Amino acid sequence: MQKFSTPIQIRWADIDQNRHLRHSVYYDYGAMARIEFLNNHGLTSAKFEELHIGPILFREEAIFKREIKFGDSIHVDVELLKASPDYARWSMRHNFIKADGSKAAIINIDGAWIDIVKRKLAVPTNFIQNIFGDFPRSIEFQPIMPSQK
């Protein structure tokens, strides 16, 4: 699948005292980009409710490379770094790209699925597996073998 990218409008409320983007906002923008991808592919909040499943994160890591300031134009892309064959476990990368093409930050996440009724980890349905099967992959994509979960 083609790379998925979403433009971000920097809000004044997202700026800290040093006049650049607050560190926690990067995580918010990453979440916004991946949820937008899922929504665009039919995995909406209503569909999550219907399937009794939702994504959970085990780890989020930010790597800051260049400042993002108020008025900067950026876009955030989402790509799959790792996944188990059934997509029960996965890792994603979000690249924050400035208008000049420079990379401002990287967010790496590790996640899985939770059955929202049983409150236990779950294997996603075929519907979700098909969406993740088409997810944009990093050139460094690696399968997660069962012993690595």
pLDDT score for 2: 73
Task: Please state, in angstroms and rounded to a whole number, the distance separating the CA atoms of residues 137 and 55.
Answer: 18
Range of the structural domain that residue 90 is part of: 4-148
Q: In the chain, what is the straight-line distance between the N-terminal and C-terminal CA atoms, in Å?
A: 25
pLDDT score for 149: 53
* CA neighbours closer than 13 Å in the CB half-sphere of residue 43: 21
**Which CATH number fits the domain that encloses residue 120?**
3.10.129.10
pLDDT score for 1: 59
SS (H, E, C) the chain: CCCEEEEEECCHHHECCCCCECHHHHHHHHHHHHHHHHHHCCCCHHHHHHHCEEEEEEEEEEEECCCCCCCCEEEEEEEEEEECCCCCEEEEEEEEEECCCCEEEEEEEEEEEEECCCCEECCCCHHHHHHHHCCCEEEEEEECCHHHC
pLDDT score for 41: 93
Number of domain units in the chain: 1
Number of neighbours of residue 76 by Cβ within 10 angstroms: 24
Q: What is the pTM of this model?
A: 0.91
pLDDT score for 3: 83
Instruction: Read off the amino acid at residue 56.
Output: I
pLDDT score for 145: 87
Residues of the chain with pLDDT under 50: none
pLDDT score for 13: 95
